[in-house]
């Protein structure tokens, strides 16, 4: 694991957000944007294309990759627009698309970018638990040895609440 260098000369602090179509992603995004607006740095929006069931057929796999890449780019545009409408138009973002298992790709993205200083996740609004990514990163082989602090934002917080807390 590369050492974190976000505060060294020539580097800048980055907050990593995992982007998907869940409702709570906005809470994590707004929290990170509020933090960046009060300090400096940028937000890395990560979209992970998980392997599909039909990976043995290369034509099907290629179509899936193209569809998922198109969806990822649309989500990036949507979230940048939402940031702007919420008053975060000066916050810089970086788009990253990776292919693999979600939790593994999050860890790899952090390992490869020494400026990522914090992972920001939002807890699910579902009564069944905080969500699969939060649960997988909080337990198992990753827990306790995670390379950066993880901030979990309650998914039900309003934008005003998030701005007040960040």
pLDDT of res. 40: 82
Token pair, residue 60, equals: 């099907």
pLDDT of residue 115: 93
For the chain, the structural domain boundaries read 14-165
> What are 46's two structure tokens?
């990560």
Check pLDDT > 90 for residue 165. no
What value does the mean pLDDT take over residues 26-41? 91
Q: For residue 54, is pLDDT > 60? A: no
> Quick check: 53 pLDDT over 60?
no
More confident residue, 37 or 136: 37
pLDDT tens for each residue of 70-106? 999 999 999 999 999 999 989 999 999 999 998 889 9
Strand 42-49 with 14-18, pairing:
parallel
CA-to-CA distance for 127 and 108, rounded, in angstroms? 30
Question: What is the per-residue pLDDT across 103-159, written as a single tens digit (0 to 9) for each?
Answer: 889 989 999 999 999 999 988 777 666 666 766 666 656 656 678 888 889 888 888
Task: List the Cα angle 5/7/10 in 5-degree steps.
Answer: 75
CATH superfamily name and code, 14-165: HUPs (3.40.50.620)
Question: SS3 letters for the chain?
Answer: CCCCCCCCCCCCCEEEEECCCCCCHHHHHHHHHHHHHHCCCEEEEEEEECCCCCCCCHHHHHHHHHHHHHHHHHHHHHHHHHHHHCCCCCCEEEEEEEECCHHHHHHHHHHHCCCEEEEEEEECCCCCCCCHHHHHHHCCCCCCCCCCCEEEEECCCCHHHHHHHC
Asked whether residue 23 carries a pLDDT value surpassing 80, the answer given is yes
Beta-strand relationship, 150-154 and 116-123: parallel
Distance between terminal CA atoms of the chain?
Answer: 28
Q: Mean pLDDT, to the nearest integer, of 43-71? A: 83
The CA distance from 106 to 116, in Å, is 11
Rounded CA gap, 150 and 130, in Å?
14
**Mean pLDDT score, 48-54:** 76
- Residue 59 reports pLDDT greater than 80: no
């Amino acid at each position: 694991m590369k050492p974190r260098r976000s505060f060294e000369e020539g580097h800048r602090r980055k907050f990593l957000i995992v982007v998907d179509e869940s409702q709570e992603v906005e809470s994590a995004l707004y929290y990170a944007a509020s933090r960046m607006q009060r300090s400096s740095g940028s937000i890395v929006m990560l979209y992970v294309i998980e392997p599909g069931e039909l990976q043995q057929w290369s034509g099907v796999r290629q179509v899936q990759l193209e569809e998922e890449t198109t969806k990822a780019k649309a989500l990036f545009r949507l979230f940048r627009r939402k940031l702007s409408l919420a008053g975060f138009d000066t916050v810089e973002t970086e788009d990253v698309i990776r292919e693999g298992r979600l939790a593994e790709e999050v860890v790899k993205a952090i390992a490869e970018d020494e400026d990522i200083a914090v992972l920001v996740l939002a807890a699910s609004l579902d009564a069944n638990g905080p969500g699969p990514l939060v649960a997988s990163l909080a337990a198992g082989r990753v827990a306790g040895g995670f390379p950066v602090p993880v901030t979990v934002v309650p998914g039900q917080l309003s934008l005003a609440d998030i701005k007040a807390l960040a």
